[in-house]
Structure 1
Amino acid sequence: MPSTPEATMGAVLGDVLGFAAAVAVSPLPIIAVILILATPRGRLNGVLFTVGWILGLAVLGAVMLAIASPAHASVHKHPATWVGALKLALGLFLVVFGARLWHRRPRDPSEARLPKWMSAIDGLTPVKIFALGVALAALNAKNAPLTIAAGAAIGSAGLPVGQQIGALAVFVVVATLGLLAPLGVFLLGGERARTTLGDWKDWAAQHNVAVMAVLFLVLGLKLLGDGVSVLTS
């Protein structure tokens, strides 16, 4: 019996939520928004950074939907061969990148160092803060492959256009939770917010590489399996 649209939608959401969660817990954007919130215009800059992040995810995901839409990437509800090849390539990239990160992780977390560009956040204008949010979402080598994989999974599943947009919206919202949490603490947490956010920043900075390495290895292996399944079915 063919699956109903609802069952198909549920299966697609189950497929992409893992990618969204991985993007959401990516430590570098969380550290970046915490540093941005500590700038003189922290409230404005934090909101602009988050809006830029949302826009970056949505645009990159929408591009993948246009490329991998049912008319171009699915035949009788089955993903086209190139979709399987894309998943295979993304999976291989994530596994190799994850293994490289794990090998290069600091043996002592206290020795971890933040990227040099983060030291310049205090001097960025609101426009540049917004652009930074877009770049970390859509152009970052750690997040872009996950968003591309999610867009390809949604676009190649044979869903109606409305459900594709809904699935992408769910992905973007879940992928943004990692930024919304510190933003919410800053806006609602009062005097204790800076201490709480400082503790979060320190933990994320120390464990950034190890967290991303494990996520990439797990999701890369999943994508490899999905790609092989599409290419051999």
Structure 2
Amino acid sequence: MGQAVGDVLGLAAGVAVSPLPIVAIILILATPQGRLNGLLFALGWVLGLTALGAIMLAIGGTAGASTHEQPATWVGALKLALGALLALFGARQWRRRPKDSSQAHLPTWMAAIDRFTPVKIWGLGLLLSGANLKNAPLTIAAGASISSSGLPLPQQIGTLAIFVAIASLGVLAPLAVYVIMGERAKSILTDWRDWAARHNVAVLAVLFFVLGLKLLGDGISILTS
């Protein structure tokens, strides 16, 4: 199980470093029902990652992700495709990054986040984790790695739980600071929000590219072994 956890640790860290979701939860915590809305967002986030990872475990179990204790060929092909996709997105993001980080713009929907209903807040967490251009490929790759590890199902589920926990640290950290510090957390969270907003594109570009190269390497290794 230790090796399986090690295989997905970098992928989990890549999901955790998600500037837009971090900005989103900080804005949510500033709403009148900040604590409730923050918890709903975090719940949606965790559920999105868990559901996507569980789907991959189910697919891997029925499609034979592991053969003779080695990842199946289709797992290598999947990682190769996901790696190429992420690397291309990374190069595209890097070309589009603003020359001056102070000119970075957040999505327009963030301006209306204080008017979101609790259901929309929950759905936003679900969307930003399970349907995100960076997080979804990384979670799919993690699920494929776990399902091809040859571990018994209970240990696969445990490894997925560890992946989700680590991948959720970026979202859970602002929530924890808010719950523990209350009003005193405002200045800290504002600094985090401003930094994430300014460097969102550059951070995503680097993460896309580096993690894409990692998956490319993993895919090539599986296909040539």
Q: Where do 1:65-214 residues align within 5 Å?
A: 65-69=57-61, 72-214=64-206
CA distance in 2, matches of 1:139, 1:111: 27
Select between 190-199 and 46-55 the one with higher mean Cα deviation.
190-199
The amino acid that maps onto 1:115 is P
The amino acid that maps onto 2:156 is Q
> Does the Cα contact within 8 Å between 1:69 and 1:158 map onto a contact in 2?
no
Deviating runs (4+, > 6 A) in structure 1? Answer: none
| TM-score (structure 1 length as normaliser) | 0.94
CA distance in 1, matches of 2:126, 2:116: 14
Query: Secondary structure of the residue that 2:31 maps to in structure 1?
Result: coil
CA shift at 1:225, angstroms?
0.8
> Does the Cα contact within 8 Å between 1:87 and 1:224 map onto a contact in 2?
yes
CA distance in 2, matches of 1:146, 1:75: 22
Query: Secondary structure of the residue that 2:168 maps to in structure 1?
Result: helix
CA distance in 2, matches of 1:106, 1:116: 17
| TM-score (structure 2 length as normaliser) | 0.97
Whether 1:226 aligns to 2:218 is yes
The amino acid that maps onto 2:182 is G
Whether 1:50 aligns to 2:59 is no
CA distance in 1, matches of 2:129, 2:182: 28
Query: Secondary structure of the residue that 2:64 maps to in structure 1?
Result: helix
CA distance in 2, matches of 1:19, 1:116: 29
> Does the Cα contact within 8 Å between 1:64 and 1:148 map onto a contact in 2?
yes
> Does the Cα contact within 8 Å between 1:70 and 1:159 map onto a contact in 2?
no
Query: Secondary structure of the residue that 2:105 maps to in structure 1?
Result: coil
Q: Cα RMSD over matched residues? A: 1.1
Select between 41-50 and 187-196 the one with higher mean Cα deviation.
187-196
CA shift at 1:197, angstroms?
0.6
Query: Secondary structure of the residue that 2:53 maps to in structure 1?
Result: helix
- Aligned residue in 1 for 2:29: 37
Matched length = 225
CA shift at 1:131, angstroms?
0.7
- Aligned residue in 2 for 1:19: 11
CA shift at 1:70, angstroms?
7.8
CA distance in 1, matches of 2:114, 2:63: 47
Runs (5+) with no aligned partner, structure 2: none
CA shift at 1:196, angstroms?
0.9
CA shift at 1:191, angstroms?
2.8
CA deviation map 1:88-129 (0-9, x unaligned):
000000100011111111111100000111112111100110
CA distance in 1, matches of 2:71, 2:64: 9
Percent identical pairs in the alignment equals 69
CA shift at 1:132, angstroms?
0.7
CA distance in 1, matches of 2:75, 2:32: 46
Runs (5+) with no aligned partner, structure 1: 1-8
Query: Secondary structure of the residue that 2:172 maps to in structure 1?
Result: helix
CA shift at 1:33, angstroms?
0.2
